[in-house]
Amino acid sequence: MDILDLLQWPAMAVTVAAAWLVGSRSAAKRAAGFWAFFASNVLWVVWGLHDGAYALVVLQFCLAATNLRGVYKND
């Protein structure tokens, strides 16, 4: 097993934590959640490229664009 195969687990954990944070009533926690989503996007892209999951990689770029909207719309 390659070390990059294990990257999916921290990627999943960061994604779950980010989803929890963006559901907060605190603008600061929501902002942290959007940035955590960006971190998870990077982790998923690295894992997806390594594993040949190219649809997942494209999805992560689309979700990153959605996260950018969330960063700017967060009040």
The 10s digit of each residue's pLDDT in 6-45 is 999 999 999 999 999 999 999 999 999 999 999 999 999 9
Containing structural domain, residue 59:
3-73
Number of domains into which the chain is organized: 1
Query: What own/partner pairs with CB < 8 Å and gap ≥ 24 does 64-70 have?
Result: 64/37, 64/38, 67/34, 67/37, 67/38, 67/41, 70/22, 70/30, 70/34, 70/37
Neighbours of 6 (CB within 10 A): 11
The per-residue pLDDT for 71 is: 83
- Residues 24 and 3: their CA atoms lie apart, in Å, by 33
pTM: 0.90
Closest by Cα among 15, 26, 6, 9 to 67? 15
Can you read off the two tokens belonging to residue 46?
């690295």
